[in-house]
Chains A and B, each alone.
Chain A
Amino acid sequence: MSKNRHEGLGLTDEQVLDMFKTMLLARKIDERMWLLNRAGKIPFVISCQGQEAAQVGASFALDREQDYVAPYYRDMGVVLAFGMTAKDLMLSGFAKNEDPNSGGRQMPGHFGQKKNRILTGSSPVTTQVPHAVGVALAAKMEKKDIVSFVTLGEGSSNQGDFHEGLNFAGVHKLPVITMVENNKYAISVPIERQLACEKVSDRAQGYGMPGVTVDGNDPLAVYEAVKEARDRAVKGDGPTLIEAVSYRLTAHSSDDDDRQYRESEEVEEAKKKDSIITFASYLKEVGILTDEVEKEINGEIGNLVNEATDYAENAPYADPEDALKFVYEA
């Protein structure tokens, strides 16, 4: 038996199993979307695969009843943990009217759901960073014990809004946690052509906040880092920059062919560290998961994804003239 790491972090067996289920659900929805795309049923997919551990581990360290999240386009694990459902995500994949993110207006991956405090996002990267800082500013002004959590890719950490947002948060010691999901590629450009510093977290020094780099394939390591950041934030000690290092297991999107710029051996090597496999192994080693239970979970999630797919495929589109709605308040 390997060492039980989650108890020391204050996580119950039930909670870590729930983490695993959420990661697996994200993976299975994502895989289904690729199938639907290749079958010509949905026009576009952008993937979370390889980043589920960071997304779900971080989310579980937040107050999922009160905190705000500003996710980026790969964060299926975050939005599922914050209350979005498989059905919601499939409705978005099929661009159907009932899609809670946008009513079929935006491409998949452009999350947003007010009832779950998931800020609406766009395609220009990193614009969400100042938004999360604004939520944190409001929380501080209103003396609420909440934080905002914002994510982005490592390439996006080159944008001006990253610098402007983190500096603002640092100056005013705002309760915002920024997690860069470093998956090693910004479409085709590898990290050494993106960053002049070694680690994204090195940038934290310039913003007067702690910067930590954690293994993004390990949900417990990410949980621990985000939990500590959240504790600091609600105590009034200000923001934290966390870099969760993992690997993008798919092409950038359904419109990208990653064979143009990386070797398949590299991808195969990364798959050995796939968190869906390694976390399942951990749960088995500490006696929480058995092959039988894993099979059961896979069956349940498979059914959920099937139901969501059928529902979304058969759901109606918005009426054409609905395009004219909601430019301004009615």
Chain B
Amino acid sequence: MPVMSYIQAVTTALKEEMQRDEKVFVLGEDVGKKGGVFRATDGLYDEFGEYRVLDTPLAESAIAGVGIGAAMYGMRPVAEMQFADFIMPAVNQIISEASRIRYRSNNDWNCPITIRAPYGGGVHGALYHSQSVEAVFANQPGLKIVMPSTPYDVKGLLKASIRDNDPVLFFEHKRAYRLLKGDVPEDDYVLPIGKADVKREGSDITIITYGLCVHFALQAAEKLAEEGIDAHILDLRTIYPLDEESIIEAAKKTGKVLLITEDNKEGSIIGEVAAIIAENCLFDLDAPIQRLAGPNIPSMPYAPTMEKYFMVNPDKVEKAMRELAEF
């Protein structure tokens, strides 16, 4: 089985979907000749030509809106936002339009667009190249938000997103692009959107998280295992709509729950996860629900001292896990 990086899994999924279905096309800033600023669309321009790997003007609302129009026509656009931080001009198109097209037309029209965007910090990206923006979109029924943590999940979930008949936001952790490598089967598999995945079975504490933090939790879990603390790790994978059943099951399994996000703590998606657990698992809990997240400041600063202070990292995760285990 080939080993590939997180970003190679993105490129592979795009390429295979474009080979499979000629309605699939990519549009965004610098995605064509250059192959994307992160090289996520590397080689696609040469293979599929200018119009299926379209360099658009620098205008995010048009990238989303033109994609939405093409999707209503029957194409399968994959729009790229160069950084998740720059999705803001397209919010009206994504929330007022894409998310509501099926609903407002009483199921007459639909909008099968995938919008990919690199998010996340720890890359010296400062305020506007580091953010987690999922919470902006995570209370908009009609949208789906996928945030995979491994190359294997990237390929299977990006293919599923492109084939989905509703709009999907697909957030890729930019630090994971080259940091993470893993086995990715060559075959044409898809993974279910809306299903969380147990990344580690354990019996003492439950960690529920997504994206790069899954790896921080896995690393910390290995260390803690040496101390006899056995962590159960649930990767949300789809953060909207949430997989309530898996969340409840994971919380009940150990009765001690730590929720982790790289986003600001306040109003982040893990607040909703906490509410689901509070509603459903009160009598199964042996400790208050714990949250580990970024501080409530606008975004992470550039200077390495302050960036490190903001970011979740394996040490912070390990500390939080140990404290919960000892509760």
Question: Is B106 a contact partner of A168 (Cβ separation < 8 A)?
Answer: no
Question: In the complex, A122 Cα to B100 Cα: how many Å?
Answer: 9
Question: Is B104 a contact partner of A106 (Cβ separation < 8 A)?
Answer: yes
Interface string of A100-137 (1 = CB under 8 A from B): 11111110001011100001101110010111111111
Question: Is B70 a contact partner of A134 (Cβ separation < 8 A)?
Answer: yes
Question: In the complex, A235 Cα to B77 Cα: how many Å?
Answer: 25
Question: Is B75 a contact partner of A122 (Cβ separation < 8 A)?
Answer: no
Question: In the complex, A101 Cα to B56 Cα: how many Å?
Answer: 32
Residues of B within 8 A of A161 (CB): 61-62, 65, 92-93
Question: Is B57 a contact partner of A168 (Cβ separation < 8 A)?
Answer: yes
Instruction: State whether the Cβ of A160 lies closer than 8 Å to any Cβ in chain B.
Output: yes
Question: In the complex, A123 Cα to B61 Cα: how many Å?
Answer: 16
Question: Is B75 a contact partner of A141 (Cβ separation < 8 A)?
Answer: yes
Question: Is A134 a contact partner of B104 (Cβ separation < 8 A)?
Answer: no
Question: Is A103 a contact partner of B65 (Cβ separation < 8 A)?
Answer: no
| From B51, B97, B108, B166, contact of A100 by CB (8 A) | B108
CB distance from A103 to the nearest CB of B (A): 3
| From A101, A104, A134, contact of B65 by CB (8 A) | A134
Question: Is B102 a contact partner of A329 (Cβ separation < 8 A)?
Answer: yes
| From B25, B65, B103, B109, contact of A164 by CB (8 A) | B65
- Given the interface contacts A114-B109, A329-B110, does A131 sit within 8 Å of B62 by beta carbon? no
Question: Is B65 a contact partner of A102 (Cβ separation < 8 A)?
Answer: no
Within 52-72 of B, Cβ neighbours of A (below 8 Å) are at 52, 54, 56-57, 59, 61-62, 64-72
Instruction: State whether the Cβ of A140 lies closer than 8 Å to any Cβ in chain B.
Output: yes
Instruction: State whether the Cβ of A328 lies closer than 8 Å to any Cβ in chain B.
Output: yes
Residues of B within 8 A of A138 (CB): 69-70, 73-75
Question: Is A131 a contact partner of B65 (Cβ separation < 8 A)?
Answer: yes
Instruction: State whether the Cβ of A196 lies closer than 8 Å to any Cβ in chain B.
Output: no
| From B51, B93, B108, contact of A130 by CB (8 A) | B93
Instruction: State whether the Cβ of B101 lies closer than 8 Å to any Cβ in chain A.
Output: yes
Question: Is B92 a contact partner of A326 (Cβ separation < 8 A)?
Answer: no
- Given the interface contacts A114-B108, A122-B96, does A105 sit within 8 Å of B103 by beta carbon? yes
Question: Is B69 a contact partner of A135 (Cβ separation < 8 A)?
Answer: yes
Residues of A within 8 A of B109 (CB): 112, 114, 119-120
- Given the interface contacts A105-B103, A164-B57, does A135 sit within 8 Å of B70 by beta carbon? yes
Instruction: State whether the Cβ of B280 lies closer than 8 Å to any Cβ in chain A.
Output: no
Question: In the complex, A43 Cα to B106 Cα: how many Å?
Answer: 20
Instruction: State whether the Cβ of A139 lies closer than 8 Å to any Cβ in chain B.
Output: yes
Of A100, A112, A132, A171, the most chain B CB neighbours within 10 A belong to: A112
Instruction: State whether the Cβ of A247 lies closer than 8 Å to any Cβ in chain B.
Output: no
Interface string of A163-191 (1 = CB under 8 A from B): 11101100110000000000000000000
Question: Is A124 a contact partner of B104 (Cβ separation < 8 A)?
Answer: no
Question: Is A327 a contact partner of B74 (Cβ separation < 8 A)?
Answer: no
Question: In the complex, A325 Cα to B107 Cα: how many Å?
Answer: 9
CB distance from B234 to the nearest CB of A (A): 23
Instruction: State whether the Cβ of A68 lies closer than 8 Å to any Cβ in chain B.
Output: yes
Instruction: State whether the Cβ of B288 lies closer than 8 Å to any Cβ in chain A.
Output: no
B66, closest chain A residue (CB): A134
CB distance from A221 to the nearest CB of B (A): 28
Question: In the complex, A151 Cα to B89 Cα: how many Å?
Answer: 22
Question: Is A160 a contact partner of B89 (Cβ separation < 8 A)?
Answer: yes
Question: In the complex, A122 Cα to B95 Cα: how many Å?
Answer: 11
Residues of A within 8 A of B142 (CB): 327-328
Residues of A within 8 A of B51 (CB): 140-141
B64, closest chain A residue (CB): A130
Residues of A within 8 A of B72 (CB): 119-120, 131, 134-135
B77, closest chain A residue (CB): A134
CB distance from B244 to the nearest CB of A (A): 15
Residues of A within 8 A of B96 (CB): 122-124, 127
- Given the interface contacts A133-B66, A133-B69, A168-B59, does A102 sit within 8 Å of B105 by beta carbon? yes
Question: Is A102 a contact partner of B57 (Cβ separation < 8 A)?
Answer: no
Residues of A within 8 A of B74 (CB): 138
A117, closest chain B residue (CB): B73
Question: Is A102 a contact partner of B104 (Cβ separation < 8 A)?
Answer: yes
Residues of B within 8 A of A124 (CB): 92, 96
Residues of B within 8 A of A135 (CB): 69-70, 72-73
Question: In the complex, A140 Cα to B27 Cα: how many Å?
Answer: 15
CB distance from A263 to the nearest CB of B (A): 35
Question: Is B61 a contact partner of A160 (Cβ separation < 8 A)?
Answer: yes
Question: Is B59 a contact partner of A120 (Cβ separation < 8 A)?
Answer: no
Question: In the complex, A171 Cα to B110 Cα: how many Å?
Answer: 27
Question: In the complex, A161 Cα to B89 Cα: how many Å?
Answer: 10
Interface string of B27-66 (1 = CB under 8 A from A): 0000000000000000000000001101011010110111
Question: Is B61 a contact partner of A102 (Cβ separation < 8 A)?
Answer: no
CB distance from B242 to the nearest CB of A (A): 14
Instruction: State whether the Cβ of B141 lies closer than 8 Å to any Cβ in chain A.
Output: yes
Question: Is A137 a contact partner of B62 (Cβ separation < 8 A)?
Answer: no
Question: Is A120 a contact partner of B104 (Cβ separation < 8 A)?
Answer: yes
Interface string of B83-119 (1 = CB under 8 A from A): 0000001001100110011111111111000000000
Question: Is A130 a contact partner of B73 (Cβ separation < 8 A)?
Answer: no
Instruction: State whether the Cβ of B246 lies closer than 8 Å to any Cβ in chain A.
Output: no
- Given the interface contacts A122-B97, A164-B65, does A68 sit within 8 Å of B73 by beta carbon? yes
Question: In the complex, A7 Cα to B75 Cα: how many Å?
Answer: 40
Question: In the complex, A197 Cα to B107 Cα: how many Å?
Answer: 41
11 more A-B contacts (CB under 8 A) besides A134-B72, A138-B75, A171-B57?
A103-B106, A120-B104, A127-B65, A127-B96, A131-B97, A132-B69, A135-B72, A164-B61, A167-B59, A327-B141, A328-B142
**Can you list 8 A-B contacts (CB < 8 A)?**
A100-B108, A112-B104, A123-B96, A134-B66, A134-B69, A134-B73, A168-B66, A327-B102
List residues of A whose CB falls within 8 A of some B CB.
68, 70, 99-106, 110, 112-114, 119-120, 122-124, 127, 129-141, 148, 160-161, 163-165, 167-168, 171-172, 325-329
